[in-house]
Amino acid sequence: MGKHIQPVSKNNTYTIEIVSLGHSGEGVGRYEGFTIFVPYALPGETVEVKILEVKKNYAKGKLTAVIVAAKSRCLAECPIYDQCGGCQLQHVNYEEQLVLKRQTVVDAVTRIGKIENVVIHQTLGVQEPWYYRNKMQLPVGTVSGQVVVGCFAQGTHQIINTEHCFIQHETNNRVAQAVQQIVSELGITTYDEQTGQGVMRHVLGRVGVKTDEVMVVLVTATSALPRQAEVITKLRERVPNLVSIIHNINSKHTNVILGNRTTVLWGKESITDQIGKFTFNISARSFFQVNTIQAEVLYNKAVEYADLSGRETVIDAYCGTGTITLFLAEKAAKVYGIEIVEPAILDARVNAELNQVTNAEFTVGDAIDIMPRMFKQGLRPEVVVVDPPRAGCERKVLETFANMQPQRIVYVSCNPASLARDLAVLEEYGYMTKEIQPVDMFPHTYHVESVALIVAKNKG
């Protein structure tokens, strides 16, 4: 067979038109029908692109010039935007970001799910799209003899010093600056990935947006934190509203940030925050949506789609620390939360108690095992709510949902591609997608959350 010849070559430059946005926020264009991915390029633009990598079916390129710019193109606020991997859409004005995010959901549902005639609403944006992240986790290192705290440069493990991140809560920025100064002042060594030597690996900051409570987690490669008493004193002096200083030990040669051993150096072991009327305990390891304000928008939409009258039984699969569960419990007769991660279920039980919610029951285990058991015991939920990881649900889980024959399934998704695939599977099992509401939880990044309302086809 003759070898397929691609129309573009590495290191050559081409002029192309960008037709859409890829699932990681990059522009997608074509040259003689051949797909080229171009970060920082926007739909509707004519750009010049230098080819960096050529694969069988596509190429990756670097934007070298914008010949015809999109009206929505703007200057990024952040001075290190083009070096840092944290944001992908700061070069687009915020209103257009919302339009583009809706389009990624539309494209996924129609192309991957092959589903037409679904109402996909405009993306619900946020009033203030800056300084929203309540959780920060940054590597600590040494560059040219100076201690740095910041983001890894895109696609590398080279730390870019991040004095002021435009999407982090401003208190987290203050935490990062304080840790950088303290590590430097006290002469504490930083961890070197190559040699495995050094002490300080990462700093985590968590902020209760509604309560102002702050937690600092120091991750070291060593079991002891040098000059511990001085570190505590200096952090307390420099970080307002600090209520918790945690030490986490991670001695493994790994990309995973947190190790298995955690101790409280000072203060409480958790902070609290509020979403809607509910208060949540947040420990160093707890899962909690990073955008507190938009989490309330997301959960309220899930409850609206659940359409509860107070008589229903609801299953919340992948319930995590019980955030959505508590919102559902307020409107349902009974909610069963299922989650495979045991510490999350322990947090969920604490959160239910904290909020005096008595009609939520939490079970540790895999939904594939737990739900059939509940069904055998006679449980017939009117509504199933699911908020799975990025990879979506296994087919067996979706089949299990369908076997329980709920009237409605509410699917909360952080990945339009896996959502679309799962919606297509549910179609096979007798369900149809009525509407989808995209929610912008992560301004200036390519991520988009969605809530889908899925109903039984035989339900008038």
Rounded Cα gap, residues 358 and 353, in angstroms: 7
Looking at the whole model, is its pTM more than 0.75? yes
Note whether residue 11 is domain-resident. Answer: yes
Same domain, 103 and 198: no
Which of 87, 151, 319, 414 is catalytic? The answer is: 414
Structure tokens at 141: 């290192």
| Mean pLDDT on 217-241 | 98
In 3D space, the residue among 90, 118, 95 whose CA is nearest the CA of residue 105 turns out to be 118
Looking at the structure, do residues 410 and 378 belong to the same domain, yes or no? yes
Answer yes or no: do 118 and 156 share one domain: no
Whether residue 393 lies inside any domain: the answer is: yes
Could you give the C-alpha distances from 184 to 65, 190, 193, 248, 285, in angstroms and in order? 41, 9, 19, 20, 27
Q: Domain end: 275, 303, 333, which one? A: 275
> pLDDT value at position 460?
47
Q: Is residue 284 part of a domain?
A: no
In a domain, 428, yes or no: yes
% of the chain at pLDDT higher than 70: 99
Count structural domains, the chain: 3
Q: What is the mean pLDDT of residues 271-289?
A: 94
The answer to the question of residue 152 being in a domain is: yes
Residue 324: pLDDT band by 50, 70, 90 thresholds? very high
CATH number of the domain enclosing 195:
2.40.50.1070
Banded pLDDT at 256 (limits 50, 70, 90): very high
Tell me the per-residue pLDDT of 55-81, one tens digit each, with 9 for 90 and over.
Answer: 999 999 999 999 999 999 999 999 999
Mean pLDDT (whole number) for 147-153: 92
173 and 235 inside one domain: yes
Q: Are both 220 and 156 inside the same structural domain?
A: yes
Cα of first residue to Cα of last residue in the chain, in angstroms, is 55
Distance, in Å, from the CA atom of 455 to the CA atom of 406, rounded to the nearest integer, reads: 8
Residues paired with residue 336 on neighbouring β-strands, in sequence order:
315, 361
How far is the C-alpha of 321 from the C-alpha of 134, rounded, in Å?
16
Task: Label residue 102 exposed, middle or buried (CB < 10 Å: 0-12, 13-18, 19+).
Answer: buried
| CATH number of 27's domain | 2.40.50.140
The pLDDT tens digits for 179-199 are 999 999 999 999 998 899 999
Please tell me whether residues 252 and 354 are part of one structural domain. no
pLDDT of residue 459: 62
- Is there a single domain that holds both residue 362 and residue 439? yes
Statement to judge: residues 249 and 182 lie in one domain? yes
Whether 50 and 112 map to the same domain: the answer is: no
| Exposure b/e, 262-290, CB count within 10 A at least 16 = b | beebbbeebbbbebbebbbbbbbbbebbb
* Nearby residues of 427 by Cβ (< 8 Å), 6 or more positions away: 115, 433
The yes-or-no answer on residue 414 being catalytic is yes
Same domain for 301 and 368, yes or no, is yes
Q: Looking up tokens 């405009």, which residue turns up?
A: 122
Looking at 275, 305, 340, the residue that finishes a domain is 275
Residue 79 domain flag: no
CATH of the domain at 402: 3.40.50.150
Same domain (yes/no): 351, 450: yes
CB 30 within 8 Å of CB 36: yes
Residue 42 lies in a domain: yes
Q: Which domain holds residue 336?
A: 99-127+291-456
Question: 3: pLDDT confidence band, cut at 50, 70 and 90?
Answer: low
Q: Is 330 left (phi over 0), alpha (psi -120 to 50) or beta?
A: alpha
Per-chain mean pLDDT for the chain? 95
Query: What gap in Å lies between CA 418 and CA 412, rounded to an integer?
Result: 11
Flag whether 227 is in a domain: yes
Distances from the Cα of 102 to the Cαs of 22, 143, 289, 447, in angstroms?
Answer: 13, 40, 20, 11
Q: Please tell me whether residues 441 and 322 are part of one structural domain.
A: yes
Tens digit of each residue's pLDDT (9 = 90 or more) over 195-217: 999 999 999 999 999 999 999 99
